[in-house]
Amino acid sequence: MARIVMKFGGTSMAGIERIRHVSALVKREAERGNQVAVVVSAMAGETDRLVQLCREAASLYDPREYDVVVASGEQVTSGLLAITLQGMGVNARSYMGWQLPIRASGHAAALIDHIDAAVLERVFQTGGIAVIPGFQGVTAEGDLATLGRGGSDTSAVALAAAMKADRCDIYTDVDGVYTTDPRIVPRARKLDLITYEEMLELASVGAKVLQTRSVGLAMRTNMPLQVLSSFEDRPGTLIVGDEAIEDREMERNVITGIAHDKNEAMVTLTGLPDRAGTVAEIFSPLAEASINVDMIVQASPRRDAESTLTFTVPRASLAHSVAELEKVKEKIGFADIVTDTNVVKISAVGVGMRSNAGIAAQMFRTLAGRGINILAITTSEIKVSVLIPEEYTELAVRVLHTAYGLDAEDAA
Ligand code: ASP
Ligand code: MG
């Protein structure tokens, strides 16, 4: 017998037909002899609709009342799922965040502080199934709180950790995590296993299947996650710790996946004076403005010569970044600010990189072979990223996928 949290996303809960199907999956899991708790999202599109209603009501709304409005989508689906399960003869009941409780602080992007598992233990002891709305908690003041968009994934992982579950299954509309975006590379393969760290790197560079925060929480609590489809009946991708895949290392590729991210813009400052403190003077105002700088490249032809600094910021923060830099331009004494939004960041990710040399060189060679110019580079222990002109996105992802041996054998 295993203890499992099953979490269903918005497309899995979109309408009574879908909810009936979800009920059947839950019932089957329970009939295998497992203890099951279910976490649900609002119906697809519902949270967007509720957020829009708040905006229409007032441009500056109270976050406490926003939470009251947007948390309602999950209340509806958890009640409906409990009703359909009961209709199938399953002993199921919904429990709102405040009924457990799921303690949280803040509004609109609240953090979970603590979950009391006592109620759930009692439900398990009586052979019941608890259906819990994702995305919500209750503050110390007794108010509703929501966890930020996509927060149901985090609810599910936090609940799984609190009830010491053996696994947290995240049912969605894709059947797992792929080596790259299958819309770009038809030969992308579904991964059986991926580590938390790899998943975090792939998510942060634009391969969004799970809310990043939920993966971080799973890593800290060492909770095995499985991403799978509620539409197709086959195993998904298991997300686990490094140690859990060590013995499989031999069979694994050095590179696990290739991600691309079009959300960055490149900023280049020319004619920077060569003296201590210049870089600090540039990045401090950006940090104060909460602008997240990602890749950084600085070069000067020789000592005492003017240098060039290139870095990337989120596209949405570009105008803000330029405004901040204009303010310090005279004081620092650089020549120009040049920006480029037609760029993409391509990343190769894999824990196998730790024990294999030459991964970056292979990437540069592969791109050079196609005449693709690299504008900036960053590396971490398990990731190499390059910034290239946006028009080469598809080509770069495809040739790297092939070069690192990721293509599926049977062509799709
Ligand atoms: N319904 C919420 C949202 O769309 C939470 C979730 O589905 O994860 O953001
Ligand atoms: Mg979601």
Tokens representing 192?
Answer: 């059986």
pLDDT number for residue 412:
47
pLDDT band at 345 (very low <50, low <70, confident <90, very high): very high
Mutating to test ligand 1, I would choose from 8, 40, 41, 173 the residue with most ligand atoms within 8 A of its C-beta, which is 41
Q: Is 133 in the pocket of ligand 1 (CB under 6 A)?
A: no
How many angstroms separate the alpha carbon of residue 12 from the centre of ligand 2?
Answer: 10
Asked if the model's pLDDT at residue 63 lies above 50, the reply is yes
pLDDT number for residue 208:
72
Torsion of CA 74, 77, 79, 83, to 10 degrees: -170
pLDDT digits (tens, 9 = 90+) for 240-256: 998 877 766 556 789 99
DSSP code of residue 41: P
Q: Which residue has the least CA distance to atom 6 on ligand 1? A: 150
Asked if the model's pLDDT at residue 298 lies above 70, the reply is yes
DSSP code of residue 262: -
Shortest CA distance to 71 belongs to which of 162, 139, 18, 173?
A: 139
Torsion angles phi and psi, residue 232, rounded to 5: -125, 145
Topology of domain 3-249 in CATH is: Carbamate kinase (3.40.1160)
pLDDT number for residue 209:
84
How many angstroms separate the alpha carbon of residue 256 from the centre of ligand 2?
Answer: 23
How many angstroms separate the alpha carbon of residue 113 from the centre of ligand 1?
Answer: 19
Torsion of CA 56, 59, 65, 71, to 10 degrees: 60
Q: What ligand 1 atom has the least distance to the C-alpha of 150?
A: 8
- What is the homologous superfamily of the domain 265-340 according to CATH? ACT domain (3.30.70.260)
Task: Please report, for the chain, the start and end positions of each structural domain, with discontinuous segments joined by +.
Answer: 3-249, 265-340
Angle of the 46-57 helix axis to the 72-87 helix axis, nearest 10: 150
Q: What ligand 1 atom has the least distance to the C-alpha of 9?
A: 7
Spatial separation of the C-alpha atoms in residues 257 and 350, rounded to whole Å:
7
How many angstroms separate the alpha carbon of residue 45 from the centre of ligand 1?
Answer: 9
Beta partners for residue 377, in sequence order: 386
How many CA atoms within 13 Å lie on the side-chain side of 272?
27
Dump strand ranges (E) for 254-340.
257-261, 264-272, 296-299, 307-314, 336-340
Tokens 């969004």, residue located: 208
Mutating to test ligand 1, I would choose from 11, 75, 149 the residue with most ligand atoms within 8 A of its C-beta, which is 149
Torsion angles phi and psi, residue 307, rounded to 5: -120, 170
Angle of the 196-204 helix axis to the 212-221 helix axis, nearest 10: 160
How many angstroms separate the alpha carbon of residue 120 from the centre of ligand 1?
Answer: 23
Mean pLDDT of the chain: 94
pLDDT number for residue 248:
63
Tokens representing 26?
Answer: 């839950």
Asked if the model's pLDDT at residue 89 lies above 80, the reply is yes
The secondary structure element, H or E, covering residue 129 is strand 129-133
Q: Which ligand is nearest to the CA of 174?
A: 2
Q: What percentage of the chain has pLDDT greater than the value 70? A: 97
The secondary structure element, H or E, covering residue 240 is strand 237-240
Contact 6, 36 (CB under 8 A): yes
Q: What ligand 1 atom has the least distance to the C-alpha of 48?
A: 4
Q: Which residue has the least CA distance to atom 8 on ligand 1? A: 150
pLDDT digits (tens, 9 = 90+) for 299-337: 888 888 889 999 999 999 999 999 999 999 999 999 999
**Between these two residues, 91 and 357, which has the higher pLDDT value?**
91
How many angstroms separate the alpha carbon of residue 235 from the centre of ligand 2?
Answer: 19
What CA–CA distances, in Å, run from 332 to 278, 299, 318, 329?
Answer: 7, 17, 20, 5
Predicted TM-score of the model (pTM) = 0.88
